[in-house]
Structures are given as structure tokens and as C-alpha cells.
Amino acid sequence: MNRFILALTASMMTASLAVADVTEADLANDTASTGDVLTNGMGRHLQRHSPLTTLNKDNVKNLVPAWAFSLGGEKQRGQETQPIVHDGVMYITGSYSRMYAIDVKTGKELWQYDARLPEGILPCCDVVNRGAAIYGDKVFFGTLDARIVALNKDTGDVVWNKKIADYKAGYSYTAAPLIMDGMIITGNSGGEFGVVGRVQARDTETGELVWDRPVIEGHMGMLNGEESTMTGTLNATWPGDMWKTGGGATWLGGSYDADTNTLVFGTGNPAPWNSHLRNAGKPTEGNSGDNLYAASRLGIDPATGEIKWHFQTTPREGWDYDGVNEVVAYEDRAGNKRWATADRNGYFYVLNREDGAFVSAAPFVKDITWASGIDETGRPIFVEENRPGDPAASADGNKGEVVFSSPSFLGGKNWMPMAHSPVTGLFYVPSNEWGMDVWNEPITYKKGAAYLGSGFTIKPNYEDHIGSLKALDPDTGEIKWEYKNDAPLWAGVMTTAGGLVFTGTPEGEFIAFDDETGEKLWTFQTGSGIVGQPITWEQDGEQFVTVISGWGGAVPLWGGEVAQKVNYLNQGGLLWTFRLPAQLASNN
């Protein structure tokens, strides 16, 4: 009896000492709870907006560094993480599949986990990672060998480690995972290797697969260990066997909208890039070359993995205009529930949140060549002569006609997430004004080899800037203000109810803009290029802002003439945390 009471007391003491677990309610409430940042996107709607007003237009000039944290080692390269903050601990991921837990008050490391990566991983576009997820007593992140790892959040010990896909076939994983209803939802990377995009749900406790949804027509889904349904209709929009290696990598992860109980994932380019091999260069044959569901946004039922709706941004895709960019849930000024997404193809789309139906589209970059506009159904109005030519039609059959395409394949906007402010009603879109010479070549699929059938050279469209942060009105498509930057923008954006828009540049500047005018109100040189994602939270009555600095990503690897233009930029790997001291909060 005494022993029982002692044991009970001991376990209660242990429980009271342990730091709090993260619940489904915590995740659902993330935007409003200003003391933590628990989700990718600073809230499930991915608005990257904080309701905090402590830091504002008047006092942002008093924002000062609190601490910096080095990722260390020789492994630098692009740092694209969005930090998670929970119960006094910050969790970040780093290049080469590393994860760190840091004391938010002191900047001291609590633990570090380094994934042991095999030889022969095939990350297409730098060895980046875009952030972790947190739930229960665990933190989760994906690794470059296409695995998902669950760690004890207090110790960094591995709880489980599961294979998402075969890295030898070109699969990898770089997105922040998504948690809902006790499940961890992941996509995959590898669209340049003829992989097949998938969305998968696993039990967060065990890592066991609950359902699997391939996103290319013809492939079978899985639910609770058994075949569920075929995606789409076999050969409806794909010729022959091309669907088997059809691409559509879901490489940027997704979002969950509780209002409509829908998971939304974007899908990358159909493979290979040479669109003529997928029948996409033959518009007289109806929709046979649309190649569903590549270059699309998909609404998925979280209970079953069934596709509820789709919206294809670039049917007959032929420029590597991946359709993966984030889909942000918001309400328009009339109170309608909407999705907004700024696509690689240069158009900003508004969709109906209930069924994904097209509402409107507007260009957010200048000089779009491949389409003259978007029709009333949401389908692009193609400029046929600006599609890269069919090599089979050339004299020697080896190289199709070269065309100039804008935007370039790295997109009017790439992975770097935009932000919405419900205060101004605007979206703040990190975009790039660039084009490319592009042509097609013959190609056959070979496991683990690049599956493009294309060649390309990216070039700037303007001498004085490539990067362009735009404040865009989603109701009208109007650009309210623009900030031009010499190098291409590659960092995430954040808004606050204090009237601020934060982002960083490859030149290393971390900047706070006035959300109404675009005026630069504050700037800090971080020492390397910023391609990470800022966050803000409050602690002990003070507001903090964090961003990671560390130049890299796809531009230096794939950027052609642009890569040469920015090859002077130095690498790094420093996490910066800024603080508005309480005594300076009212000192205007």
C-alpha cells in the first residue's frame, strides 16, 4: 500500500516536471496563441500573419538582436527552415537533414540530431529542409533520403523512422510535415527524376501508414492496408505508359482547412519536361495532353485520402511550372471563404474554398510569354508558338526549336511562401522577374537519372532587379506596391497586425516594410543570404522575431546567367533572434 502511494506520488511529480505536450486544439489555435509557433505557416491557414501589435510601425526601429545560433560544421548551403517555438524551446531544421532544439531565452543548444544520410542521395535543388512539425511529445521532420523521423521533443531521441520512398529512384523529402487529427501528412520530392507524387498519412504514434494517395492518374491508392481507388481514369489525359513515371511531386507539403475539412496539396511538373512526349503539344486532340493531376492543386479528404476536387493551374505543362506553391485560406472583403495561390506560371489564382472552383486569376509578374491570359474557366489561353518545340520535328531529331519563355522555370514565384494580412486584405508575394531560353530533347526514363528532355538558360528580364516583393489585392489583382531587389528573392514573408511585412534578401538584409506603403522601416544585415522563413512570438511581455540566414537553394545550382550574377554571395548558417525590449516598446 505504501509502496503504491509512493509510486503514484513519484509518477505525479514526473508528470508535473515534464514540459507540456502539444494537442490538436493547440495546433488549431496556433495563429491566435501568440506565445508559440506550432505550425508551418504560423497557423493552419498558412497566412503567416501574427495578431501581435507590440512591435509596430513606430517602434520597429528599436528592434535589436537578442542572440544568434550557428548551425556549425562544414555543412552550410541553403537554410530554408521555419522555426517552431513551444514552451521555451525553438526547433529548427538545417541543411543536410539536421535538427536542433534551442533554449529561446538564451540561444543555447539543448540537443542536435543529425540524420545519417546514405551515399547517393539525389536532392535536385540543394540539400535544404523547410521545417519541422510538433505534436504530442514528439517533433517530426523529413530527410533527404526520403524518410520521416519522429524524435522525442525533450531529448532528441529517435522514436520512429520510416521510409517514404526509394531515394535511389530520385525521391527525397524537404517540406515541413503537416499534422492533423493525430496523423502526420507528407508529400515527396523528386519531380526531375520521373518519380510519382504522393500524399501519405501516418499515425503519429507509430509511423504506420494510414492511407496513400498517388497524384497521377492510373495509380492505385491505399487505405488501412488495402487498395482503395484509382487516381483519375487510366489514359484519360496521359498517352500510353507515360503516367507510370509521370512526376507530379508533392514537394512543398500542404495545408489543412478545418472549415471545409480538407487537406490541400500542390503537385509538381509532369515528367518529363519535354511536353511533346506527353501529348501536350497537340491541342487539337482535346484534353488528352492535360496530364492530370500534375501541375495542380488537390483537395483531399483527410479520413480516406480520396481526392475531393482538383484545379490544374498549367494543363499541358511544358515549362516546369510546378503547381506546388502554397494555398492560403482567407476570407475576401465580401466575407467569402477563399483559397489564394501564386503559381510558378506567373498567375495569382483565387479559388472557392468549398470545392476548389476557379474564381479569378491575375498576373503577378510582368512579361508572361507562354499564355496571353486565363479564361473564365481558369484554363490558360496558350500562346502556341511560345511552347518549346518538338525535337521529333527538327532536321536531326535531337533538338526542338528554342523559344524564350517568361517566367523562367524557377517561376514567377518558387517555394518561398507569401503572406496575407487580414488587416490590409492584401497578399505579399515574393516574386522574380526572369525568363529563359528553353528547348526540348529526346529522353527515355532511367531509374535514378534526371528525366527532363530539356535544356535551358535562365536570364534576368531587367538590368536593375530580378526580385520583386509585391503587395497584391486579391479582389482586383491590383499591385499596390512593389519592392525591387537586385538578386532573386528566395525567402518567406510574414505580416503582423502591427502593420509590418518582414522578409529577407540573398544579399543578407532582413527587412521590415510598412504593409500599406512598402516603405522600408528597419533593416539588419545577417551576414549571409536569407532564404528562410521569419516567425514572431511573445514571451514575458516582449515581442521576438526570428529568421535564419544561410544562402543557397536552387538559384546557385540551376540559375544559369542569374547564378553567375549572384555567385559573389557568401554561404552561412546563423539563426538570428531579435527582441523589442519592453522599455523601448513605447519609445517612438
User: Does residue 320 belong to the site contacting Ca ion (CB under 5 A)?
Assistant: yes
Residue 34: CB minimum distance to Ca ion, A: 6
Binding-residue pattern over the window 218 to 257 for Ca ion, x denoting contact by CB under 5 A: ----------------------------------------
Q: Which of 81, 189, 262, 269 binds Ca ion (CB under 5 A)?
A: 269
User: Does residue 515 belong to the site contacting Ca ion (CB under 5 A)?
Assistant: no
Nearer to Ca ion, 217 or 322 (CB): 322
Residue nearest to Ca ion (CB): 33
Binding-residue pattern over the window 175 to 204 for Ca ion, x denoting contact by CB under 5 A: ----------------x-------------
Measuring CA to CA, how many Å separate 350 from each of 245, 329, 343, 365, 406?
Answer: 30, 10, 11, 16, 22
Residue 257: CB minimum distance to Ca ion, A: 17
CB 78 within 8 A of CB 64: no
Q: Can you tell me which residue has the cell 539563426?
A: 575
User: Does residue 33 belong to the site contacting Ca ion (CB under 5 A)?
Assistant: yes
User: Does residue 457 belong to the site contacting Ca ion (CB under 5 A)?
Assistant: no
Q: 567, 575, 414, 558: which is closest to 492 by C-alpha?
A: 414
Q: Indicate the length of the chain as a whole number.
A: 588
Which one-letter amino acid corresponds to residue 461? N
Which one-letter amino acid corresponds to residue 182? G
Q: Which stretch binds Ca ion (CB under 5 A): 36-44, 68-76, 179-187, 444-452?
A: 36-44
User: Does residue 322 belong to the site contacting Ca ion (CB under 5 A)?
Assistant: yes
Residue 412 CA neighbour count, 13 Å, CB half:
25
Name the strand (E) or helix (H) holding 458.
strand 454-460
Nearer to Ca ion, 39 or 360 (CB): 39
CB 440 within 8 A of CB 391: yes
Residue 317: CB minimum distance to Ca ion, A: 9
Residue 320 bears catalytic tag: yes
User: Does residue 345 belong to the site contacting Ca ion (CB under 5 A)?
Assistant: no
Residues 6+ apart with CB under 8 A from 56: 496, 498, 499, 500
Interatomic CA distance for residues 461 and 386, integer angstroms: 16
> Which is catalytic among the residues 36, 212, 320, 343?
320
Q: 161, 128, 233: which is closest to 557 by C-alpha?
A: 128
Nearer to Ca ion, 524 or 544 (CB): 544
Q: Which of 27, 30, 141, 432 binds Ca ion (CB under 5 A)?
A: 30
Interatomic CA distance for residues 175 and 447, integer angstroms: 23
Interatomic CA distance for residues 509 and 525, integer angstroms: 5
DSSP 8-state assignment for residue 323: B
Nearer to Ca ion, 188 or 549 (CB): 188
Q: Which of 36, 80, 126, 441 binds Ca ion (CB under 5 A)?
A: 36
For the chain, give percent helix, strand, coil, nearest 5: 10, 35, 55
User: Does residue 172 belong to the site contacting Ca ion (CB under 5 A)?
Assistant: no
Q: Which stretch binds Ca ion (CB under 5 A): 28-36, 47-55, 141-149, 473-481?
A: 28-36
The cell numbers describing 326, all together, are 502554397
Residue 247: CB minimum distance to Ca ion, A: 8
Nearer to Ca ion, 33 or 457 (CB): 33
Q: Interface residues with Ca ion (CB under 5 A)? A: 30, 33, 36, 191, 268-269, 320, 322
Q: Which residues are catalytic?
A: 320
